[in-house]
Structure formats: C-alpha cells, structure tokens
Amino acid sequence: MFFNIVMLVLALSCESSSQSIGLGVYHFQPSTNSILQIFDSPESAQPQLTFAVLFKNDSMLFSVADREVDNKIDLQPLYYNSKLATLSLQVISNQGNWYKVVLNNSIPTYGWIELDASEIESWETFLKTIHHITPKGSLLLKSMHSKKSVAYNSYFHCLRVKEVYLDWIEVAHTPEFCPDKKSLFLEGPGGFLKWKDGQKLMIEFRM
C-alpha cells in the first residue's frame, strides 16, 4: 500500500513537471534587418515559419512565410500583432541554445528557435508589465483561500500585477500605469487570480 502511494505521488509529480508553464517569454524585437526563423526541431534543416519585417509608411509590418502552403500553422502565440510587428512567445524548455516555444496554445503546436538565454524574460518580470488582466473562466477572488469574488469591469478597471505567488497573482486597479486613460476610474478593485494551470495561461491581458 505504501509503495503504491509513493508511486502515485511520483507519477503526479512527473505529470505536473511535464506540464510546466515553462522558462519564460521571448519577445521578437524587430529592426530594419530582422528575421526570425522557427524550426520543427533543433535538427531541422529548413524553418517551418519565417517572420520578416517590412517597413511601410514609417510603420512596421510582419511578413510571414509558411513552409507548408497546404497545411499552414494556425498561429495563436502568447501575443501577436502583425500590424505592429509584435510577437511574444511562451518558452517551454531548451536543448542547449535551442528553445521550444508555443505557436498555438488551443491546439498544442510547438516550434524551436535558436536563442541566447539572456533573451528570455522571466514570468514574474513579464507578468508585471501586462495590464487590463482578466481571468479565463474564473473569478477575481478576495484571497487565494477564499471563494468570495470581487466585482469589477474589465473595460473600466485596469488590473495590473502587484505580486506573484506561484500559480496565483495579486492584482490591483492601477490607472497611473495604464495607457488607456479614457476608460479608467480613479479607484477600483483588487484581489487574487489564478494565472496558470500547468502549461496553460488562465488570464487574458493587454501589452
């Protein structure tokens, strides 16, 4: 009986580890000659996706080349805006200087990019830069151990991260640090949200 319990705990531990939220976030920051290539694996000879930057009317756009014309990747990364040439990728793991990234969280799809470790932003740092945070299918709670929810409006209240506690974040309405001044109240709610479940993010946000 004791052996079975130990094996169960180990199995759950391994499963939890395999579903880790990952190492952090990579932000592709384009310049006049930027190209980002994403591969199937570190051993692949040809990239499956290539992001190139186009400059038009003093603005930047992404040009995306997909290797598979008839089987294109449904790109739903952590954050993507082709018109603003903005791309942020969730980094899961690495093999040396090759890093596994999430291309689509809804239909788990991954790719590999070659990076320097210094280019990866930690989750704690990243979470403290996002704003207008809203939960996916959960509630804003008064505390991590409470079932009492806090009423708020995701449009009028700009929730930002105050502190990170493992799977939970403490958030508060902080209008002075939010870009959308028109829709904000001077005062607003605060509370706790579960921001991750295994490898999945449990929040939506603006950057």
Please tell me the predicted confidence (pLDDT) of residue 1.
Answer: 40
Q: What is the pLDDT of residues 141-161, one digit of tens each?
A: 888 888 888 888 877 788 999
Quote the CA–CA distance of 117 and 40 in Å, as a whole number.
Answer: 20
Please tell me the predicted confidence (pLDDT) of residue 86.
Answer: 80
- On the question of pLDDT at 70 being above 50, the answer is no
pLDDT tier at 94 (50, 70, 90 boundaries)? very high
Q: What is the dihedral of CA 186, 187, 192, 197, to 10 degrees?
A: -30
Quote the CA–CA distance of 72 and 64 in Å, as a whole number.
Answer: 11
Quote the CA–CA distance of 191 and 188 in Å, as a whole number.
Answer: 11
Spatial contact of 110 and 102, defined as CB atoms under 8 Å apart? yes
Q: How far is CA 68 from CA 22, 63, 73, 101, 111, in A?
A: 27, 15, 8, 19, 14
**Residue % of the chain over a pLDDT of 70:** 78
Min mean pLDDT across 16-30, 99-113, 193-207 is at 16-30
Mean pLDDT of the chain: 79
| Tokens at 52, concatenated | 């190139």
Phi and psi at residue 104, to the nearest 5°: -150, 120
35: helix, strand or coil: strand
Q: How far is CA 44 from CA 47, 69, 98, 193, in A?
A: 7, 18, 12, 39
Quote the CA–CA distance of 170 and 162 in Å, as a whole number.
Answer: 5
